[in-house]
Structure 1
Amino acid sequence: MMMNTWLDDYFKLYTSAAFQPSIYAPLIEFRDLALETRERGKKLIFAGNGASASIASHGRVDFSKQGKVRALDFNEANLITALSNDYGYADVFARAAEMFADDGDVLVLISVSGTSPNCVKAAEYAKSRGLTVVTFTGKSFDNPLKALGDINFWIDSSAYNVVECVHMIWMCTVVDMVVGKAEYSVT
């Protein structure tokens, strides 16, 4: 019975974060931005570390394949290791954005803490170029990455798995909003 109580409490972390009406506005904003990006022939560029890198890759694939929005991510091992070796890991995403971002592109940065130096530096670079920045963060409300975002997805939690799973839910929700429905053929 105690494990059931633990699970009840655990799943409340998800429902209290992921499914609140306060998230509707940024979801709609990101959908509108993705549609505008597609219409202008620009692209979404995704980056994150660890599990956030996996979310970035998933977002890139689904926005491209299902949403028909051009997208790329910075998760290629050769790119990461070459740029890290030459410029340091803190500059890897900013240097990649320098190489691949075009005017009008959107940088989507994912960091549970919102303090990952490579994400923060990439956001600073994007802002200096006039690019739009979308952030997915957790932990502290006033984290530096969120402060640089034009559209922000923030979850009030320090539970890494919860934050990462909620980020994935929100990302997939926006893809389905771009498609216009939740159930569709992926072939």
Structure 2
Amino acid sequence: MYRIIVLLIISLGLIACKSNDRVVSAWEINDVYRSTIISSNPSNGAKIYQGPPINTMDDANTFEMFSLRGEKSTQGAKSYELLVHLTYFAPWRYYESANLLNKPASTFKVVSREAGICDAQGCVFKELMSIQVTDTFLREQMDKGFQVTISSKTGVSSNLFVPAQYLKGYLQAVDGPKN
């Protein structure tokens, strides 16, 4: 009986983590707003806005962690990037491109690749990627969110969804309080 209960709990947990939920509660806007870390860039005085990570697991057993990072210059110019950190077992995938709203993202770049611990299952691999996005793009997607597909040389793809509520909370943090 104990084994059945444990297996049931584990199964429900894995099912819950299987996909990136597109339905995000309205209260999460406030959570994203409060969880966005604001710091200063000591080299140029710009403000840096690091959004909280979204964590998911896809069908290829890839742990997906992604978030928005922005910078606002002292003159008020804003730049943003979507940081995507993918962790997986098996051979290197070599992620090489991204589609943003089903169009190739020209600003895709691989920031780092690293091999981790190896055991009987194989090795853990991590790839960190960045996609530049504009302030206009984020504001246009604020009501519906947007999807990004990251593709590898081996044919494995990861579909990521950035929900509208995440964008709203993040952009509220960047814009600051309204007086």
Flag whether TM exceeds 0.5 (same fold): no
For the pair shown, the structure with the greater C-alpha radius of gyration is 2
More strand by share: 2
Q: Normalising by the residue count of structure 2, what TM-score does the alignment of the two structures yield?
A: 0.28
Q: Normalising by the residue count of structure 1, what TM-score does the alignment of the two structures yield?
A: 0.28
